[in-house]
Structure 1
């Protein structure tokens, strides 16, 4: 992967720009110069001396997909507690996760990020909230992995300070002291956050959930984040059990609880937000608070189906997230788009969500949640050169009339090319920045070692 990206012309593709007008070019082109898109249009592509020309015939070109919620360390703990609900699943997995260290996180993150790239993701978040006392630099490890794979990365410094002995869900062995959390969080922001317009790395602050953190941590974390100018993230309203926990302990719903603590606003986004009443949706709309919709994980854990259509219609910033690999073994952003459509329709009928809305949520919607919709999420001149070229002329998709429907409703399309910041990360279905076979072997070894350690 060259340090200085050149000029790339994708010609002859069906181009879905996902701009505000929903512009699509059945026979179109995109020109990338360096790390920026400089031209998008219909018809023959301009001839540019020295450019790499990519034949897009038989392909659909879209913005790169934006993943707004993940737990990369879980890539080496997939397939455990496969039939449990959220609280039982967490109870099973916390003792295993307590054994992670920087080496395990680096391996897990490399595998998870490579897999995301292989399926069209160019920007991903991560929410790492398990910080063992002797685990080393787990945040530096995942940041190193993101740089190696080549994805645009928004890691969140997660935390838990409410252990079981104080009425929380996690065992005391995996929680931290409040002062240590704040010091560690400030350190991560100071070392890694890059606010520049074309940043490949932005940090967020992310206490885990109402049942694993104290009100003091939520309040102090919000103050720290806003002082540093970074975003806030947490799990919220994922299950009925969580709602009951908040009603019993705080006398209010999860959204009301976080609103009391200042955890609403355009710099905040929640993961899941499955169990929301109309009042909660009105609060999110009025404050610009975002949501990461994770339909596959919510189904895997039996948590329910979020009111995605209602959130979208209300103007809530809404993106998609694969969630952690231990509750979504597939971790495929196209599958999230497909499930968003199918689950919305299962809930509300065939017109509840269109395939183009699903593509919007997977691209510009996610960029909006992360505060980057002026830079990412659509194919427009001046935006960063993050794009995905999908083959839709193979046996899986040939003959499907609408290319966007082929992508959103069909089998996962083969990825012909993935550009991130103008650089190729995937070519003809293979990640070119790492050796996939070596990474798979390292993941298997790390998985066995971690499970053995917990045993």
Structure 2
């Protein structure tokens, strides 16, 4: 049999317990067809890439993001604010989002993710000043060929209800629930090898009504959808839940029916140990966002302690206006550094961080069978990493540790569903220059910088 693509002469990280020092990987029909060592004869192929001893990993999986925020990166008035100051300063700008700006920001975000080794990403789109914004995101994903797990975010509480956002970006309950059903019917594809899925994602416990939380849980069970929200991200959330609901954020999360195997949460910085144990036992996963947590200075979860307690932990870039980048390689490196800084030199290894960025992210999205690893039959989503000879000089004993310790690394080749989307570090997007130009115009409009 002749396969579509063969990559050879590489160090292949297949999965958490399978590495091949000098091997090849064969791709056919968007799937991993076979893997072997240099001692085994590979199948003939239509196209062959020699990786020259480079590292191949599964594509990294972004488990928490806000793509529209790349329109307001490094926005000077709020760069040094607290989380709530940052949100209050930016919500009025995000009220200017429309279909075109969301399409452009999503397109740029996905290309940037590909260049940082990410092949599957969710997006938490919870600001809806205009309708059909998630439709625009799917348009971008389909044009690029990116594997996309959209989340239908929502907010019901504006400043007039004691919330943070302006009235123009929140919606009433019926609009949210009806549009959620519409998006699931139009875009959610639960079939094997799917390129697009939908999850339900009320923004946070303090930004939506209790009805939205409970109805989202019911809809999740009805359609077998994932559930996502921010949880226990800031101490102010504890105060809010105590005053409004008479309990902690985790207790409220459990009360509204979210403590189950379909849920994953972002950040989860301030729970008690007992609450971590309860959610882990219930099958809830979490996404850590190291760079965003450190940039805002609001604390970060102890990812390795959560993993020891049985909770599956993925990684996320978070919003491009808090982290100001969308590189999953950088998030993975920062997760390693943060874990070691927190718990000492034995606290975390590069393989732990890589496992979070692959298997952990796949667990968050409920997609562990097909992505996050390179076992035969898996989706052909992978990265051939590129590093300079100078950066790697002397790094001879462990290519996985060197990948995160010897910086920087970029995706030399990124493959999604068997298609090469980045080659020699360059995205294969014909109209990228035009997209960047239009993106700049919308960013200037939103930031009130147009003449």
Which deviations, in whole Å up to 9, do the C-alpha atoms of 1:235-264 show, x marking residues without a partner? 111111222222232222211111011011
Identify if the C-alpha distance between structure 1 residues 226 and 453 changes in structure 2 by more than 3 Å, giving closer, same or farther: farther
Q: Which residue of 184, 192, 206 corresponds with 1:189?
A: 184
- Match status 1:354 vs 2:349: yes
CA distance in 2, matches of 1:318, 1:54: 33
Residue 396 of structure 1 pairs with residue 391 of structure 2: yes
- CA deviation vs aligned residue, 1:254-282 (integer Å, no higher than 9, x gap): 11111011011110000111112101111
**Separation in structure 2 between the aligned mates of residue 336 and residue 405 of structure 1, nearest angstrom:** 15
Give the match for residue 365 of structure 1: 360
Q: Say if 2:316 is the partner of 1:327.
A: no
Q: SS of the counterpart of 2:111?
A: helix
RMSD: 1.7
- Which has the higher mean CA deviation after the structures are superposed, 48-57 or 75-84? 48-57
Shift of 1:70: 0.6
| 2-structure distance, mates of 1:285, 1:25 | 32
Structure 2 residue matching 1:452: 3-state secondary structure: coil
Equivalent runs, 1:53-92 vs 2, <5 Å: 53-80=48-75, 81-92=78-89
CA distance in 1, matches of 2:164, 2:274: 27
Alpha-carbon shift at residue 317 of structure 1 (Å): 1.7
**CA-to-aligned-CA distance 1:142-196 (integer Å, 9 cap, x gap):** 1111112221000000000012222222222221011111111111111110010
Q: 2:411 aligns with which of 405, 409, 415?
A: 415
1:47 offset after TM fit, Å?
4.5
1:412: Cα distance to partner? 2.9
Aligned partners of 2:117 and 2:409: how far apart in 1? 9
Identify which of 135, 144, 151 aligns with 1:140: 135
Aligned equivalents of 1:6 and 1:329: distance in 2?
Answer: 40
**Superposition map of 1:326-345 within 5 A:** 326-345=321-340
1:269 aligns with 2:258: no
Decide whether the 8 Å contact of 2:92 with 2:165 is kept in 1: no
Q: In the alignment, is the contact (CA less than 8 A) between 2:102 and 2:133 conserved in 1?
A: yes
SS of residue in 1 equivalent to 2:68: helix
Aligned to 1:225: 220
CA deviation after TM superposition for structure 1 residue 453, in Å: 8.4
Distance 2:274 2:198 in 1: 30
Alignment map for 1:146-161 (pairs within 5 Å): 146-161=141-156
1:110 aligns with 2:107: yes
| 1:172/1:71 CA distance change after superposition, 3 Å | same
When the two structures are aligned, how many residues end up with a matched partner?
447
Q: Which runs of 5+ in 2 are unaligned?
A: none
**CA gap 1:304/1:378 in 2 versus in 1, 3 angstroms:** same
For 1:8 and 1:223, locate their aligned partners in 2 and report how far apart those are by CA, in whole Å: 43
Deviation at 1:68, TM superposition (A): 0.4
Inter-partner Cα distance in structure 2 for 1:18 and 1:412: 23
In structure 2, what is the Cα distance between the partners aligned to 1:371 and 1:288? 11
Corresponding residue for 2:239? 244
**2:36 counterpart residue number:** 41
In the other structure, the counterpart of 2:250 is 255
Specify which of 434, 441, 451 is matched with residue 438 of structure 1: 434
Structure 1 residue 384 displacement after superposition: 0.8
> Could you tell which deviates more after superposition, 198-207 or 157-166?
157-166
Residues 212-243 of structure 1, C-alpha deviations (whole Å, 9 max, x = no match):
11111111111122212211100111111222
TM-score, reference length from structure 1: 0.95
Separation in 2 of the partners of 1:337 and 1:284? 24
**Deviation for aligned residue 1:444:** 1.4
TM-fit CA distance, 1:64? 0.3
- Calculate the TM-score normalised by the size of structure 2: 0.96
| Residue segments in structure 1 that go unaligned for 5+ positions in a row | none
